[in-house]
Structure 1
């Protein structure tokens, strides 16, 4: 037992761990600051969302530890992959039957009255594990360079099913992230560039077909006035500043008011009823207002470090399963950060995607924490791998 613990202490990725912890604590502080008014409106206290997120983090930390100590090699197990697929499909069927709508998307389920759960967050981690495991198992008998699209038809079918389910929620942000994750894992598999382009073409074609089918079938449920308004707000935000652009314009005001150093922690004006639900996808606007550009740099620096570290781990390892898992996790955080920041800054239409580790959300922080545990587990393996090479 001592040797086992000594192995973990010696090879544990402390920089990655402390960056993760810092971002979670920083997010908790900013959730408290951003949600004071919303919390008063909710239950008459200033710390309602703070307390809920603290509970979320305590639960997430347990799953983080499990992810860090569960050997990542087991993610290639066919039985585990089947179990995760069954759970994913079960959750989405539950969502179809008895889902709840929030933020313009029907993407939540009520778990026995205990908590609200978002299956698309589970699906992001599932796609990483399923794709990595499936490609890894195929590569054991046939080098990835020789694989053709028909050799891995099942992962593509699974991806199509998951994206189709998410399309029924009309959650475009989750569709973008899940699709981006799938592409990242395929790219990290070692497949030849020409064949990778074939896969990418297939994914783009079917992805466009799914969106087109969703528009035809769901009709007004997909192209809701809220979504059309977001597109108009993206094209010309100040023309609709009292309507569909209200949140975006007030986000701009918050960002512009912060300057270099910000107006001070807790001193935001825009959170006083101008920005609806500021603890969620617009929390970076509050950070910019209260802590200025320096606060934004701190957050983006922490997220950037995790993404960079994940990609470096993927590049260093000789294990294709570790490479695909690490690349998928790093890409997930990078894509979701871009979609969030891009939406509030006007680079892309607003999708309602949360900022990793910072925004309020129990399901999001739970599965991001599991992903970070897996990444640290892979990092420990890579360190041990390099020690063996050096003869240490």
Structure 2
């Protein structure tokens, strides 16, 4: 039994995950060594060592999620604990939260800082997958099947947005949309959701206006100004984006060499977090960028393939939610540093520095690998249906002659 289970794991997916993590660790050291010394007065390997510790813990969590049967999350008590725990920890940020990057979205425990909003992404994925799995028989009854799960998701998005952390709130909302589209819900209910969403925006618009100074702060407005014309405001609002362009343009095909970036010398402030792909483009060129994009694309496509082949609605929706999360975060991060969308502060999965981010990703990937094992096990070892023996040729001819006579 154990041998069959171990044989059913998708080792190509596991290899892709750890290749990205190892590459990300290398690039964090390369991109943060100057920042650590010049900006914070730390040792050159400070951020590298912290990320290595988070990745080590994440690998342990990955193994637990990889071997723990994923259907345990269908337990109603565990599901309620996840829901209430997520709302309580988000609510506690308003009283005990630590502000960083103009958002009160961190909790400090000793020397450790955790961002609960990261882990709530997985909570929402598990919750929506479990609830829509349970409601499959009446999912097209809007009031009973489709609407109730959205209340929890909307509350989470509001709690995160009020911090304010619009990037994370947007990602959670988009993950929910992807899961709803794949839940088996009819097109009429999907349009009802769109109408409900518009109505919700109208309802909360007075709240947004009352808090306009906090929500539409000078820094957030500057991101849109810099996005619109970065070179016009190169010394102010467009500073980050212009230096990101310089880094990307300097790399060429093979880059200037690992560790040889110029932009990380204070020109690109968030070189090891939001703009790490720009440093990869500068040091390793198009080849380095393609390496990351190919592995990320492989993980996302593999996740959707797992969802397509899974005959369990819960496993399907888990795979859709996790794959969507990786895809959405990647697109937002790359869109920001290339000037396609305003900068949002969303990290690049597996590559950017961030302990909370890597822990969430490793938990999610362990769950995805678990679902993949279930799919492969079912497809490889399910009992073969007994096929009827073909009728002998002489009996076919005899029956044909009788029919002609």
Match for residue 400 of structure 2? none
Match for residue 128 of structure 1? 125
- Summarize the Cα distance change of 1:102–1:15 in structure 2 as closer, same or farther, 3 Å threshold: same
Larger radius of gyration: 2
Q: Which of 12, 15, 22 is residue 25 of structure 1 equivalent to?
A: 22
2:54 paired with 1:61: no
CA distance in 2 between counterparts of 1:37 and 1:214 reads 42
CA distance in 1 between counterparts of 2:347 and 2:286 reads 20
2:190 paired with 1:196: yes
Structure 1 residues 96-107: aligned runs within 5 Å = 96-107=94-105
- Summarize the Cα distance change of 1:8–1:43 in structure 2 as closer, same or farther, 3 Å threshold: farther
Q: Which of 225, 228, 231 is residue 224 of structure 2 equivalent to?
A: 231
2:108 paired with 1:153: no
Question: Does the Cα contact within 8 Å between 1:128 and 1:328 map onto a contact in 2?
Answer: yes
Match for residue 333 of structure 2? 340
Question: Does the Cα contact within 8 Å between 2:222 and 2:237 map onto a contact in 1?
Answer: yes
Alignment gaps of 5+ in structure 1: none
Task: Give the total of aligned pairs.
Answer: 384
Structure 1 residues 1-392: aligned runs within 5 Å = 3-4=1-2, 6-41=3-38, 42-111=40-109, 113-139=110-136, 142-144=137-139, 146-206=140-200, 209-210=203-204, 212-213=205-206, 215-389=208-382, 391=384
Determine helix, strand or coil for the equivalent of 1:239.
Answer: coil
- Summarize the Cα distance change of 1:244–1:149 in structure 2 as closer, same or farther, 3 Å threshold: farther
Question: Does the Cα contact within 8 Å between 2:157 and 2:170 map onto a contact in 1?
Answer: no
Give 1:198 shift.
2.1
CA distance in 2 between counterparts of 1:207 and 1:16 reads 39
TM-score by length of 2: 0.91
Give 1:120 shift.
1.0
Question: Does the Cα contact within 8 Å between 1:105 and 1:169 map onto a contact in 2?
Answer: yes
Question: Does the Cα contact within 8 Å between 2:307 and 2:315 map onto a contact in 1?
Answer: yes
Question: Does the Cα contact within 8 Å between 2:5 and 2:377 map onto a contact in 1?
Answer: no
Determine helix, strand or coil for the equivalent of 1:101.
Answer: strand
* 1:196-226 deviation per Cα after TM superposition (whole angstroms, max 9, x unaligned): 232244245435755x355323221111110
Over 4 Å off, 4+ runs: 207-210
